[in-house]
């Protein structure tokens, strides 16, 4: 990889490390064990540090950085604390469609406030029967005069419990119309009829909360429609392409941390005079973890670089998401194997949390089974 890119990444890693050591590490383990509620204070600090709108252009208050730089932030934050890395990726997921498909007025109204952490946005797509089958949206926005009247329910929405602005996917319909295509509408959360709650007892990534949203006769002006009516599915898919690279970066961060924790553990055991055959077994596992981690990192960076170069990246994003998250599954599992009882105990080891945090990476932004379909489709078409 070109020297200047690596140098830039090193600078980013140093900035993230300084932030994580000051703002994240002192509180994240307690937050992981506490009641699930959105950590607004930490979120605002992330935004103020410039990690909230990293890739938005400067004129909208963002850092104007490349996708590779952005995912380096995600990878590095995730290394220190996975849900904090996720918390930084979520506003980007919601802002991408707003920025890419929105008109100038919509962008100027919302993007600078999102970047500053004043508005929390959510990408609101999933429903009970529209997860992998994202096109099966049941939420409907009925056109009534100069307004939409929206009814429906959304589930598993990242930051949906805390959001101020929902980038909402639904069907726009005239009275009596039934077979309409998916569209996208901006809905402010303080609109009457909009309610949300935090879903409880999530297995991992607890600090980055997940919500459920109910919309009951929510009245929104027609000008809040985002992009072209009926193009919502493609907008969502395009957004998820980028987000999947971010998940690859989260997974790479998790793998790196699991690897480093395993190396530390090996050294401790070696210093304590552990039997040679036990150390040999650990060494073999560390060799495999290191290789999986490096492959995950490279496949993820490749996808981001294609995105930065303006080349198609649907295939590469799906490969990065699938491979890196499964590599992370391998790495957390092996890290636990190496640490055994110590790794099971959150009191002694971060591996206990990494193990829980990793699992969802194989599921969100499209399950890995969906990624396999996307990858196969690229070869079969």
Catalytically active residues are 365
Q: Could you tell me the smallest distance in angstroms from the CB atom of residue 131 to ligand COS?
A: 6
Binding to ligand COS (CB under 6 A) within 98-127 occurs at 123, 125-126
Q: Cβ-count burial of 42 within 10 angstroms (0-12 exposed, 13-18 middle, 19+ buried)?
A: buried
Cα angle 292, 334, 31; round to 5: 100
Nearer to ligand COS (CB atom), residue 100 or residue 191: 100
Backbone angles phi, psi at 123, to 5 degrees: -95, 110
Residue whose CB is less far from ligand COS, 23 or 241: 241
Which of 68, 86, 247, 370 is close enough to bind ligand COS by CB under 6 A?
370
Site for ligand COS in 273-302 (CB under 6 A): none
Task: Annotate each residue in 208-247 with x if it binds ligand COS (CB under 6 A) or - if it does not, as one string.
Answer: -------------------------xx--xx-xx------
Q: How far apart are the first and last CA of the chain?
A: 31
Non-local (6+) Cβ contacts of 130 within 8 A are 136, 137, 138
Q: Which is nearer to ligand COS, 20 or 166 (CB)?
A: 166
* C-beta closer to ligand COS: residue 286 or 303: 303
- With CB under 6 A as the contact rule, which of the stretches 161-169, 212-220, 275-283, 370-378 interacts with ligand COS? 370-378
* Cα–Cα distances in angstroms (integers) from residue 186 to residues 59, 98, 140, 164, 294, in the given order: 21, 8, 13, 10, 39
Q: Should residue 314 be labelled a site residue for ligand COS when binding is judged by CB under 6 A? A: yes
| CB of residue 141 to ligand COS, shortest distance in Å | 19
Residue from 1, 14, 18, 135 touching ligand COS (CB under 6 A): that is 135
CB of 374 to ligand COS, least distance (A): 5
Residue 238 or 269 having the CB closest to ligand COS: 238
What is d(CA 381, CA 379) in angstroms, rounded to the nearest whole number?
6
Between 129 and 132, whose beta carbon lies closer to ligand COS?
A: 132
Distance (Å) of CA 340 to CA 201, 256, 336: 25, 19, 5
- Of residues 203 and 345, the one with the C-beta less far from ligand COS: 203
* CB of 277 vs ligand COS, minimal distance in Å: 45
- The single residue among 20, 73, 374, 375 that binds ligand COS, judged by CB under 6 A, is 374
- Binding of residue 365 to ligand COS (CB under 6 A): yes
Tokens of 229: 């009516």
CB of 117 to ligand COS, least distance (A): 21
Handedness of CA 320, 74, 335, 294 (dihedral sign): positive
Cα separation of 172 and 180, whole Å?
A: 7
State yes or no: residue 92 binds ligand COS (CB under 6 A).
no
Binding-residue total with ligand COS (CB under 6 A)? 20
Is residue 184 a contact residue for ligand COS (CB under 6 A)?
A: no
CA nearest neighbour of 162 among 44, 292, 11:
44
Residue 310, SS3 per DSSP? coil
Distance, in Å, from the CA atom of 116 to the CA atom of 63, rounded to the nearest integer, reads: 11
Question: In the complex, which residue's CB is closest to ligand COS?
Answer: 366
Give the residue with the Cβ less far from ligand COS, 58 or 230.
230
Answer yes or no whether residue 132 interacts with ligand COS by CB under 6 A. yes
Least Cα distance to 88 among 79, 101, 97 occurs for: 79
| Helix H or strand E segment including 188 | strand 182-188
Paired tokens of 188 = 């402010």
Tokens (6 digits) for 109: 């109204």
3-class SS at 345?
A: coil
Q: List residues binding ligand COS (CB under 6 A).
A: 123, 125-126, 131-132, 134-135, 233-234, 237-238, 240-241, 314, 364-366, 370, 373-374
């Amino acid at each position: 990889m070109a020297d200047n890119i690596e140098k830039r990444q090193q600078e980013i890693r140093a900035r993230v490390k300084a932030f994580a050591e000051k703002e994240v590490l002192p509180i994240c383990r307690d937050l992981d064990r506490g009641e699930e509620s959105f950590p607004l204070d930490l979120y605002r600090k992330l935004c103020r540090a410039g990690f909230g709108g990293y890739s938005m252009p400067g004129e909208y208050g963002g850092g104007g950085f490349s996708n590779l730089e952005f995912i380096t932030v995600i990878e590095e934050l995730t290394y220190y604390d996975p849900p904090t890395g996720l918390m930084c990726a979520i506003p980007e997921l919601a802002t991408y469609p707003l920025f890419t498909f929105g008109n100038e007025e919509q962008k100027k109204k919302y993007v600078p406030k999102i970047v500053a952490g004043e508005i929390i946005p959510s990408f609101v797509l999933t429903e009970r029967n529209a997860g992998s089958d994202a096109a099966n949206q049941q939420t409907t926005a009925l056109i009534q005069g100069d307004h939409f009247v929206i009814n429906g329910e959304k589930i598993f929405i990242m930051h949906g419990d805390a959001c101020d602005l929902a980038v909402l996917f639904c069907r726009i319909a005239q009275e009596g119309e039934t077979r309409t295509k998916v569209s996208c509408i901006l809905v402010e959360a303080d609109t009457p009829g909009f309610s949300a709650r935090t879903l409880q007892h999530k297995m991992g990534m607890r600090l980055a909360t997940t919500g459920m949203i109910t919309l009951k006769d929510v009245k929104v002006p027609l000008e809040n429609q985002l992009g072209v009516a009926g193009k919502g599915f493609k907008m969502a898919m395009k957004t998820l392409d980028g987000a999947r690279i971010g998940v690859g970066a989260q997974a790479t961060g998790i793998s790196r941390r699991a690897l480093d924790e395993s190396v530390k553990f090996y050294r401790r055991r070696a210093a304590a005079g552990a039997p040679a055959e036990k150390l040999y077994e650990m060494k073999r596992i560390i060799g495999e973890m290191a290789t999986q981690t490096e492959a995950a990192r490279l496949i993820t960076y490749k996808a981001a670089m294609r995105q930065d170069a303006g080349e198609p990246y649907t295939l590469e994003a799906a490969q990065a998401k699938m491979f890196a998250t499964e590599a992370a599954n391998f790495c957390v599992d092996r890290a636990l194997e190496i640490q055994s009882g110590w790794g099971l105990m959150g009191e002694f080891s971060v591996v206990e949390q990494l193990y829980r945090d990793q699992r969802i990476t194989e599921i969100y932004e499209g399950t890995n089974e969906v990624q396999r379909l996307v990858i196969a489709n690229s070869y079969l078409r």
